Amino acid sequence: MFTGIVENIGKIVSIDEVKQGYVISIEILGLSINISNGDSVAVNGACLTVIEHHNNIFSFNLSPETLKLTSLKSLNKNSLVNIEFPLTLNKFISGHITTGHVDTVGIIVNILQKIDSWFLQIKINQIYFKYIIQKGSICIDGVSLTINNVDDDMIDLMIIPHTYENTIINGYEIGDNVNIEVDYIAKHLEKLKND
């Protein structure tokens, strides 16, 4: 499990095609914890497993399923990615509980600077709006954010300077694809209600 609080920015150093998908290698500088093979890491909000590491370079498999369901397929060498390490029992939950299981891919439709914050508008497939409420939580590329407004097939978000400066949000452009994980608890409540 994760919390949607980005701990590092990683840089893609290689993307290699293999029999079942791709292997991406990411340079992660300034690690404050030990990461081993088999550990989970959220990369732009997608939970990936470390298959190999050397110094500050960590490699991960991207399966056909991961490529189909996430925006990771659009990464290139030198792309920057949000990195979060798994939640531990002695860690603050400063964001909200996330699983790293991406639900869908959204599209950036608007970015505007408003004084010292940034307005971000994202288009999302309408089937996910049953899990989305105004002032609820959503995870965008691994970043826990509060939804300011819900309108038709769009959500509006306000990004504070700290989040803008310490995540890949500062590199977003209109038309970019982003990973979306909706509220995990809302999905379970819907399942219980329908059973």
Domain region containing 40: 8-84
Judge if 134 and 63 occupy the same domain. no
Judge if 68 and 112 occupy the same domain. no
Judge if 80 and 12 occupy the same domain. yes
Q: Residue 163: helix, strand or coil by DSSP? A: helix
Judge if 52 and 129 occupy the same domain. no
DSSP-derived secondary structure letter, 4: S
Residues with Cβ within 8 Å of 89's Cβ and at least 6 positions away in sequence, in order, are none
Judge if 142 and 61 occupy the same domain. no
Judge if 125 and 54 occupy the same domain. no
Summarised one tens digit per residue, pLDDT across range 168-185 is 999 999 999 999 999 988
Judge if 117 and 188 occupy the same domain. yes
Judge if 125 and 80 occupy the same domain. no
Residue 93's pLDDT band (cuts 50, 70, 90) = confident
State percent of the chain over pLDDT 70. 100
Residue 66's pLDDT band (cuts 50, 70, 90) = very high
Mean pLDDT along residues 115-124: 96
Residues with Cβ within 8 Å of 121's Cβ and at least 6 positions away in sequence, in order, are 108, 109, 110, 111, 154, 155, 156, 157
Judge if 131 and 80 occupy the same domain. no
| Number of independent structural domains in the chain | 2
Span of 25-34, 120-129, 160-169 with lowest mean pLDDT: 25-34
The domain spanning residue 175 has which CATH number? 2.40.30.20
Mean pLDDT along residues 107-130: 96
